[in-house]
Amino acid sequence: MNKERTTLKKRWLLSALLLALVAVAGCSKEVKYNISGRIPSGLDVQTIYLVDPLTQSPIDSTMVAADSTFRLQGTVSEPMIAIVAAKEMPQLQWVLIVEKGKIVLDETDCSVKGSKQNDEYAAFEKSIYDLYQTNPQELEDKMPAMAEDFILEHRNDLNGVRVLHFAVASGMIDEERFMKIYDECGDFVQQHEIVSSVRQMIEAQNASNVGNKFIDLSGTCDGKAVRLSDFAGQGDWVLLDFWASWCRPCREEMPYIKKALEQYGSKGLKVVGVAVSDKSEATKAAMAELGITWPVIVDTDVQEISGAWGFNSIPQIFLIDPTGTIVAKELSGDSILETISKMLL
């Protein structure tokens, strides 16, 4: 009996130790942040926010003191990229990594220092500025390589995430270069939502490139469940228009689409609209107002469309051949008629 009790006690102690280790591991990434700064002189700012750029929601806020200083103190579940911005003046902001350390925001140059990763980024930023001061043209030539070197030095941390996203979003590197650098990064960078969302968008854009088959989607048309494949790939040329009733640029394309249908409808051209992020009632009202006579697919899933087709703005106009192959994309204005005339004649 004593032996059994001893064994049970050992097992209990082992289980307790394992649970304690799991608890420690579970909260090991938790960060107590201490962020301080000063509002530039002459600005009337009363409230400062710490914002999550992914959700655009505030994490914390504080009032600006009489001497224009402010301090944000709290806890986040793990180190993260965030923005410190003023409520009254959103353009006044600092981008930083929330991590351990006394982080100081400089009001003169918007730099961030006081912690390991923020200091490393500040040094990188200074090297860019110094080169700009001495030779702006050389900076323009060297900047993509400088960014790539920095990313690969930080291929498994938030600085790598930050600079890789900025490099592609700003056009510093193209999509092909992004994918190459992405493949050389570690799991942390690759799996971070900021970076992985860019890769997914690029892959979707490639899927809807000229030469590929159209990507199917579902919705309703005249009260019946339909798919895009009910119209495209059925032996007709299809001008596919992603639009919405509230989108002014979309409305401005309608005269060109109407003219295309008038000129080439008898030669096998059909037009199909897809309402994106719109209420079906609003779409139908806009169709009547704009004189749209062609079928429009409504009640669509905007996330499915943007994720599959790889765009996040409308209008988006494609030309699909009778076999269902995309032969032109990003059409607008006169290019709609010019492209169709080349393809159908």
pTM: 0.64
Q: What is the mean pLDDT of residues 258-284?
A: 94
Whether the predicted pLDDT of 248 surpasses 90: yes
Within this chain, do residues 322 and 247 fall inside the same structural domain, yes or no? Answer: yes
Within this chain, do residues 255 and 292 fall inside the same structural domain, yes or no? Answer: yes
Within this chain, do residues 164 and 185 fall inside the same structural domain, yes or no? Answer: yes
Q: Which domain holds residue 232?
A: 218-344
- Which has more pLDDT, 302 or 174? 174
**% residues pLDDT > 70 (the chain):** 92
Within this chain, do residues 230 and 274 fall inside the same structural domain, yes or no? Answer: yes
Within this chain, do residues 235 and 330 fall inside the same structural domain, yes or no? Answer: yes
Whether the predicted pLDDT of 15 surpasses 80: no
Q: What is the pLDDT of residue 306?
A: 75
Within this chain, do residues 231 and 302 fall inside the same structural domain, yes or no? Answer: yes
Within this chain, do residues 310 and 256 fall inside the same structural domain, yes or no? Answer: yes
Q: How far is the C-alpha of 74 from the C-alpha of 237, rounded, in Å?
A: 59
- Among 319, 301, 303, 300, smallest CA distance to 311 is for 303
- Among 300, 312, 281, 295, smallest CA distance to 216 is for 300
Within this chain, do residues 329 and 236 fall inside the same structural domain, yes or no? Answer: yes
Number of domains present in the structure of the chain: 3
Whether the predicted pLDDT of 43 surpasses 60: yes
Contacts of 307 (CB under 8 A, 6+ apart): 200, 204
Amino acid letter for position 150 = F
Token look-up 């100081």 returns 104
For 46-61, the pLDDT digits (tens) are 999 999 998 889 999 9
Within this chain, do residues 322 and 222 fall inside the same structural domain, yes or no? Answer: yes
Within this chain, do residues 222 and 203 fall inside the same structural domain, yes or no? Answer: no
The CATH number for 276's domain is: 3.40.30.10
Q: How many degrees, rounded to 5, is the angle at CA 148 between CA 146 and CA 149?
A: 65
Contacts of 55 (CB under 8 A, 6+ apart): none
For 73-121, the pLDDT digits (tens) are 999 999 999 999 998 887 889 999 999 999 999 998 889 999 999 999 9
Helical (H) or strand (E) element with 283:
helix 280-290
For 290-301, the pLDDT digits (tens) are 999 999 999 888
Within this chain, do residues 190 and 264 fall inside the same structural domain, yes or no? Answer: no
Within this chain, do residues 268 and 192 fall inside the same structural domain, yes or no? Answer: no
Q: What is the pLDDT of residue 345?
A: 63
Q: What is the pLDDT of residue 78?
A: 94
Q: What is the pLDDT of residue 219?
A: 93
Q: How confident is the model at residue 241 (pLDDT cuts 50, 70, 90)?
A: very high
Q: Name the domain boundary from 109, 144, 168.
A: 109
Q: How confident is the model at residue 198 (pLDDT cuts 50, 70, 90)?
A: confident
Mean pLDDT of the chain: 89
Q: How confident is the model at residue 28 (pLDDT cuts 50, 70, 90)?
A: low
Q: Which two tokens stand for residue 130?
A: 């110094």
Is the residue at 8 inside a domain? no
Q: How far is the C-alpha of 3 from the C-alpha of 6, rounded, in Å?
A: 5
Is the residue at 197 inside a domain? yes
C-alpha distances out from residue 24 to 77, 78, 90, 161, Å: 13, 13, 38, 26
The CATH number for 53's domain is: 2.60.40.10
